[in-house]
């Protein structure tokens, strides 16, 4: 049975895996350990690169990086999830000189330099990475890795960059080094998250507000259904959706779809072809749903946001067309089982769905999802609960 049913992943465990791995690889103790969480986006999908609003929270599953100083200018990276160890001189790190998983940490080193870090005057480091964020689940394991490394190097090298800038560093690494045309959502969530809270982020101004969620207090939890349907944002649908949004903004004569409002939609429908119009309608209505979710949470509490989560999923399924049958089934089954609300989360085309559920319903909804997947002949999903947790930090 792949249901875990509980959360409470022990952050200390990831930290010790990073420190112990460091000791084993490099034969000495690290000078420090930093960690950063994966994320769930509660609502606000594909709005980030349209200068819109998002509302994610940090996961209780983290990626930790143990760091040790060196006396030369070499950066060496290793991890618990790959036998590969990569050593490269600071001068030689470029978007083209790194590949594989090490592109994430080394991409961050390169991106820090693009934001003003003077790498000619720092000493190299040894890094060892350990992670409990599932890879390929749409829970931003890559942003967790980038954010942990960015914060570690920022503090170790005394660069003085603030967290919103470190989020841009991670995004640049992802865009230029890894090659995925993604927005600022994932890294912002990983760096700005707080326990029991969501990060309400304006992706245009990068102003953010931490909004208490009070899920546990209200007897609620978030169930994640990892469908194990693979997605890759460096190729395919994600970039196509981004291009449609840009095309829609151009045709409507605005800088970005952030500048289109609900009452502009009738005019937009007259100007755009049907497909582009539906892409635009998703972004415009999704931005409004983020604002409504934050307001509803503040005024009426988490039980009242369900319809907004459900509407967000319908919009992604029907207008933005980024869902897949497995995600739709997870959402429909959770809704039928009494979830407050449910939606796919992240970039789409696979990955995970989330359901906001009464704690007492977790076992029944988990069983129902597993049974529905089996009946449909889908691969067995992994179902687990998550707790909104603190963003990137130094742990030791
Ligand atoms: C992925 C990207 C984010 C964002 C989401 C969709 O997670 O990395 O930048 O665009 O998809 O909301």
Same domain, 294 and 147: no
Same domain, 94 and 129: yes
Same domain, 156 and 64: yes
Of 48, 126, 186, 395, the catalytic one is 186
Same domain, 127 and 63: yes
Q: Does residue 395 sit within a domain?
A: no
Distance from the CA of 39 to the center of ligand 1, in angstroms?
A: 11
Give the integer Cα–Cα distance in Å for 196 and 194: 6
CATH number at residue 83: 3.30.230.10
Kindly list the distances between the CA atom of residue 103 and the CA atoms of 17, 111, 174, in Å, as whole numbers in the listed order: 21, 11, 9
Classify residue 255 by burial, with Cβ atoms within 10 Å: 0-12, 13-18, 19+: exposed
Same domain, 192 and 314: no
- Ligand 1 pocket mutation, candidates 40, 45, 46, criterion most atoms within 8 A of CB: 46
| Per-residue pLDDT in tens (0 to 9) along the chain, 396 residues | 333 333 446 668 999 999 999 999 999 999 999 999 999 999 999 999 999 999 999 999 999 999 999 999 999 999 998 998 999 999 999 999 998 999 999 999 999 999 999 999 999 999 999 999 999 899 999 999 999 999 999 999 999 999 999 999 999 999 999 888 999 999 999 999 999 999 999 999 999 999 999 999 999 999 999 999 987 666 679 999 999 999 999 999 999 999 999 999 999 999 999 999 999 999 999 999 999 999 999 999 999 999 999 999 999 999 999 999 999 999 999 999 999 999 999 999 999 999 999 999 999 999 999 999 999 999 999 999 999 999 999 999
Same domain, 184 and 228: no
Looking at residue 231, its pLDDT comes to 76
Listing DSSP states for 384-395 in one string gives: EEE--B--SEE-
Q: Does residue 59 sit within a domain?
A: yes
* Full residue range of the structural domain in which residue 244 is found: 220-386
Q: Does residue 14 sit within a domain?
A: yes
Q: Does residue 380 sit within a domain?
A: yes
Please tell me if the CB atom of residue 388 comes closer than 6 angstroms to any atom of ligand 1. Answer: no
Q: Does residue 184 sit within a domain?
A: yes
Please tell me if the CB atom of residue 46 comes closer than 6 angstroms to any atom of ligand 1. Answer: yes
Please tell me if the CB atom of residue 186 comes closer than 6 angstroms to any atom of ligand 1. Answer: yes
**Closest ligand 1 atom to the C-alpha of 183?**
9
Distance from the CA of 120 to the center of ligand 1, in angstroms?
A: 33
Looking at residue 4, its pLDDT comes to 38
Is 186 one of the catalytic residues?
A: yes
Same domain, 302 and 159: no
Distance from the CA of 185 to the center of ligand 1, in angstroms?
A: 6
Looking at residue 236, its pLDDT comes to 79
Please tell me if the CB atom of residue 231 comes closer than 6 angstroms to any atom of ligand 1. Answer: no
Please tell me if the CB atom of residue 182 comes closer than 6 angstroms to any atom of ligand 1. Answer: yes
Determine contact, residues 369/384, Cβ cutoff 8 Å: no
Same domain, 196 and 233: no
Same domain, 135 and 256: no
Looking at residue 120, its pLDDT comes to 92
Per the structure, the count of domains in the chain is 2
Distance from the CA of 139 to the center of ligand 1, in angstroms?
A: 10
For ligand 1, atom 8, name the residue with the nearest CA: 182
What DSSP element (H or E) covers 191? helix 185-192
Please tell me if the CB atom of residue 51 comes closer than 6 angstroms to any atom of ligand 1. Answer: no
pTM of structure? 0.95
Distance from the CA of 49 to the center of ligand 1, in angstroms?
A: 8
Same domain, 126 and 107: yes
Looking at residue 235, its pLDDT comes to 64
Same domain, 345 and 228: yes
Same domain, 209 and 357: no
CATH number at residue 365: 3.30.70.890
Give the integer Cα–Cα distance in Å for 90 and 104: 15
Q: Give the 3-state secondary structure of residue 242.
A: helix
Looking at residue 161, its pLDDT comes to 97
């Amino acid at each position: 049975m792949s249901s875990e049913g509980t959360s409470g992943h022990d952050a200390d465990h990831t930290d010790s895996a990073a420190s112990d791995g460091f000791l084993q690889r490099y034969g000495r103790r690290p000078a420090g350990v930093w960690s950063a969480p994966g994320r769930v986006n509660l609502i606000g999908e594909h709005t980030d690169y349209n200068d819109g609003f998002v509302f994610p929270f940090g996961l209780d599953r983290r990626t930790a990086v143990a760091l040790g100083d060196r006396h030369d200018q070499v950066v060496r990276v290793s991890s618990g999830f790959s036998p590969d160890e990569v050593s490269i001189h600071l001068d030689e790190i470029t978007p083209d000189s790194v590949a594989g998983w090490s592109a994430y940490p080394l991409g961050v080193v390169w991106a820090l330099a693009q934001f003003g870090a003077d790498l000619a005057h720092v000493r190299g480091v040894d890094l060892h990475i350990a992670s409990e964020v599932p890879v390929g689940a749409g829970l931003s394991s890559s942003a967790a890795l980038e954010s942990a490394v960015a914060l570690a190097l920022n503090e170790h090298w005394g660069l003085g960059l603030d967290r919103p800038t470190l989020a841009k560093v991670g995004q640049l690494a992802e865009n230029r080094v890894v090659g995925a045309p993604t927005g600022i959502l994932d890294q912002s969530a990983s760096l700005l998250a707080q326990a029991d809270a969501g990060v309400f982020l304006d992706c245009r101004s990068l102003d953010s507000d931490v909004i208490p969620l009070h899920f546990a207090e209200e007897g609620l939890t978030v169930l994640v259904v990892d469908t194990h349907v693979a997605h890759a944002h460096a190729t395919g649908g994600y970039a196509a959706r981004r291009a449609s949004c840009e095309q829609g903004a151009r045709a409507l004569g605005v800088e970005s779809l952030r500048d289109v409002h609900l009452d502009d939609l009738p005019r937009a429908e007259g100007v755009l072809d049907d497909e582009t119009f539906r892409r635009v309608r998703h972004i415009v209505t999704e931005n409004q749903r983020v604002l409504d979710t934050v307001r509803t949470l503040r005024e009426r509490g988490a039980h009242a946001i369900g319809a907004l989560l459900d509407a967000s999923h319908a919009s992604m399924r029907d207008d933005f067309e980024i869902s897949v049958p497995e995600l739709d089934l997870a959402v429909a089954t959770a809704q039928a089982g009494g979830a407050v609300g449910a939606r796919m989360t992240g970039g789409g085309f696979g990955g995970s769905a989330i359901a906001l559920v009464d704690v007492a319903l977790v076992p029944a909804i988990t069983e129902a999802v597993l049974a529905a997947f089996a009946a449909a002949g889908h691969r067995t999903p992994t179902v687990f609960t998550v707790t909104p947790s603190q963003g990137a930090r130094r742990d030791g």
